[in-house]
Amino acid sequence: MATTDDMLDFETCLNAVRAFHGHCCAGSILGTRMAILGLHEIGIADPKGADRKNLLVFVEMDRCASDAILAVTGCHPGKRTLKILDFGKMAATFVNLKTGKTVRIAAKNREGNAVRTREDIEKSPHTEEYAMLPLEELFEVREVRVELKPEDLPGRPLLVVTCEACGERVMDMRHVYRDGKTLCRPCAAGENYYTPQKEVRP
């Protein structure tokens, strides 16, 4: 039977990431190491077993590292234990819900103010060798505090309302009140990520 040390062993975790993500790359290695470090920092030894209800993770990018963090921690958006905040940063925050210990781990800026285009990145990509540098050269670790609201935690929705503009249902207190109306955030802001092309089908 695997011990808790085995569960957070780098090669064991990387194999799980490879199986989930489909391949191994610098981003998935960084995410794997970030997840292991974060779990150690907040005192989580068995994220997919005994500690699974004590862990919440915020990731700040929607790239390979996020898949790695998901695979190592067992946290998922559908379980409301993995929150994706797409800030475009190689960073993640790990929360121990039982003890309150919270750390944010971010990749160190090794390039100063340099602006890199896709063409630049393709010519000199971050390599697996870079991803295996000593942890202190790769990451900044900072203890932080995250204000967790009841509606952000796992469990059934605390409230479900109907947007008075579009008629769609809104869960988990994600609605806003504007001019005396209950609205979803896209309707309140007057913008959305999609543009309707046809009428709604029945």
pLDDT tens string 85-115: 999 999 999 999 999 999 999 999 877 787 7
pLDDT tens string 108-163: 987 778 777 777 766 665 677 888 889 999 999 999 999 999 999 999 999 999 99
Quickly state the pLDDT bin for 5 (edges 50, 70, 90). low
Task: Pinpoint the residues of the chain covered by CATH 3.30.1330.130.
Answer: 4-150
User: Which residues contact residue 196 at a Cβ distance below 8 angstroms, ignoring those fewer than 6 apart?
Assistant: none
Q: CA separation (Å) from 115 to 12, 90, 119, 123? A: 36, 16, 11, 14
Q: Which residues pair with 201 in a beta bridge?
A: none
Quickly state the pLDDT bin for 3 (edges 50, 70, 90). very low
- Residue 56 contacts residue 97 (beta carbons within 8 Å): yes
Burial 64-84, CB ≥16 within 10 A → b, else e: bbbbbbbbbbbbeeeebbbbe
pTM: 0.87
Indicate the CATH number of 4-150 among 3.30.1330.130, 3.40.50.1110, 3.90.1150.60, 3.40.50.970: 3.30.1330.130
pLDDT tens string 158-180: 999 999 999 999 999 999 999 99
Give the angle 73-76-79 at the CA atoms, nearest 5°.
120
